Amino acid sequence: MELWDETPTAAQAAVGVSVCGGISVDPKFNFSTLLLSEFPTGNGIALESDERARLVADHLRELMSAFAGSAALLRVSLAEGRADLYSDTDLLWDVSDNAFSAALAALPVILEGVRPVASLRFDPDFQHSAKRRLAFRFAGVPLFWRVDLDVLAHSVDRDPDYDRDRPSARGTSWSLTESSLANAVAAIKAERRGLDNEAAEILARAEARIGIPSPAVNLRNRIGRLVHAVAAKDPTTASLAAAIDHLLTEMA
């Protein structure tokens, strides 16, 4: 699977990772007692920082408390103990069928209560699904820790393939500019992991997406040029673009 390549097909592939091994938390758990070096599940899930542990705990607490009977799970790399410093935060929210529409309507407010929302988008593959949504959000935490939240109605039984290939579930709302900024973060992650070729490929797709050429410059400068081009093309992305630009400056 490509590293955070922000196209619908890559987003769809990301959902295909099995939720088996995901970790649920008792909604009665007292999150004030959270050990910040480990997630309190008995599985010894090591999180790389106190802030990451808080981010996970706060999301799970707010999601579960928002709708009675819902369940929130940590899944994929963090849940399986194979995350690194650049892994995103994959969560699943299981809500009752009757509450599904209300949960989606409340989701922006719920997430804003966890951390300020810099960007919130929904995978177009599921935008018209009656029982599923996949949300991507950047928050007021390190950009590497993007939250990917799969929202599923309870009757779906957490099926990772539900509505994946149903044409009627697909929508068309997808910001190419925000998607390109997500690719900029993905390219930084790839570069930091020593995967320069993958970083360059990710950037090339983002550049094509917003109609700019791929310059013959080093990766850092190329990422910066992409970020500035996106911000100029779409002023609504200015805040996220500035955060990515700041990240590049810190890493210089």
- Helix and strand element counts for the chain (H, E): 8, 6
Asked if residue 107 and residue 199 are part of one domain, the reply reads: no
Q: Which of 7-11, 92-96, 127-131, 169-173 has the lowest mean pLDDT?
A: 7-11
| H helix or E strand, kind and range, residue 89 | strand 89-95
Structure tokens at 170: 């697909």
Last residue of one domain, picked from the residues 150, 169, 188: 169
Structure tokens at 175: 């910001």
Q: What is the pTM of this model?
A: 0.78
Residue 130: predicted pLDDT: 97
Sign of CA dihedral 172, 176, 177, 183: positive
- Check whether 68 has a pLDDT greater than 70: yes
Give the CATH number of the domain where residue 51 resides. 3.30.460.10
53 located within any domain: yes
| Domain that residue 133 falls in | 8-169
Could you give the CA distance from residue 149 to residue 93 in angstroms, rounded to a whole number? 7
51 located within any domain: yes
Asked if residue 115 and residue 38 are part of one domain, the reply reads: yes
1 located within any domain: no
Structure tokens at 167: 């044409």
Could you give the CA distance from residue 220 to residue 229 in angstroms, rounded to a whole number? 14
Residue 21 pLDDT class (50, 70, 90 cuts): very low
Asked if 234 and 177 touch (Cβ cutoff 8 Å), the reply is yes
**For the chain, what percent of residues have pLDDT higher than 90?**
61
Asked if residue 42 and residue 149 are part of one domain, the reply reads: yes
Last residue of one domain, picked from the residues 116, 137, 169: 169
Structure tokens at 5: 């390549």
Q: How many CB atoms lie within 10 A of CB 117?
A: 16
Residue-wise pLDDT for 180-207, tens only, equals 999 999 999 999 999 999 999 999 999 9
Structure tokens at 134: 């996949």
2 located within any domain: no
Alpha carbon distances (Å) from 25 to 22, 39, 40, 82: 10, 10, 8, 19
Last residue of one domain, picked from the residues 151, 169, 187: 169
Please count the structural domains in the chain: 2
Asked if residue 65 and residue 139 are part of one domain, the reply reads: yes
